[in-house]
Chain A
Amino acid sequence: MRSEDRIFQALADPSRRAIFESLTRGEAGVTDLTARFDISQPAVSQHLAALKRAGLVDRRREGRRVFYRVEPAGMKPLFDWITHYRAFWTERAGRLRSLLNRMDG
């Protein structure tokens, strides 16, 4: 599966989106997240695992507690698409201009 597909699949679930959105405001532990949402702790853990597989979040351990945070590079595959095509059309516009100058009438 391509990285874009994993990202879109991870974000297709509204609960996972809510958890991800919550993490964009700062690092949080599983217990904190469970308290914020009406979802069981195992379900929260599963959502976090899916987000981690997609590369959207990272985690660190502190004793027995695990903290999750947004991995900013996770969205990079989407960003790269747009960057690639922006450069493509900018270059093509230059070529079109020079072609028109060479054409008759």
Chain B
Amino acid sequence: MTFTERSAPSQTGSLAFELDLPHPPAKVWRALTDPALVGEWLLPATGLTLEPGTAFTLQAPPQPGWDGTVQCRLVAIDAERTFGMTWRVGDLDTVVTFTLAATPSGTRLSIVQSGFTPDQKRNFGGARYGWRLMGGRLTDLLAKLP
């Protein structure tokens, strides 16, 4: 199996990964959508069904200032191909999308988390600008920090 990060430098507001898995898409799909199995690799899920629009939660260990709950909503579903959900933690309002493609050796799974910007319209320009800078010279400056 390979695990490759695919985040383009220009898209610092999103993270993208690709995994080549030696298992058929139907099996990978089960691991991504069966609540009991999701709890084994991602986070324990409550209320997850495959009904479009369904709201559910994922439970991470509580941390100071956060009870550990990730608020999700199923926003895209295409059996054995696409599973998209909103991923909200406080002001962090992102979308996580799993995409499956059959390959000769099994399945290529792509995981994309996009929209690392607060859900505040008036700040949108600032957020985009901030992320663009993050991909540029400020990243170099940050690398030099102790």
Contacts and interface: CB of A to CB of B under 8 A. Distances in A.
Given A76-B142, A89-B17, A92-B42, A8 B27 contact: no
Mostly, the A contact residues are helix
A72 B145 contact: yes
A92 B43 CA distance: 9
Given A85-B15, A93-B17, A100-B31, A72 B41 contact: no
Interface stretch (A10-18, A29-37, A39-47, A60-68): A10-18
Interface in B83-129: 90-92, 109, 111, 113, 116-118, 120, 122-127, 129
Interface stretch (B48-56, B72-80, B131-139): B131-139
Contact of A79 (B111, B118, B142): B142
Interface of A: 2, 4-5, 7-14, 17, 24, 70, 72-73, 75-76, 78-79, 81-82, 85-86, 89-90, 92-100, 103, 105
Interface of B: 1, 3, 5, 12, 15, 17, 19, 21, 23, 27-28, 30-31, 37, 40-42, 90-92, 109, 111, 113, 116-118, 120, 122-127, 129-131, 133-134, 137-139, 141-142, 144-145
Given A12-B124, A24-B133, A86-B5, 10 more contacts: A8-B120, A12-B122, A12-B125, A78-B116, A78-B131, A85-B15, A93-B111, A97-B1, A99-B40, A100-B21
27 contacts: A4-B118, A5-B91, A7-B126, A8-B126, A8-B130, A11-B127, A70-B138, A72-B141, A72-B142, A73-B145, A75-B130, A75-B142, A79-B134, A81-B92, A82-B116, A86-B5, A89-B15, A89-B111, A93-B17, A94-B3, A95-B41, A95-B42, A96-B41, A97-B21, A100-B31, A103-B27, A103-B37
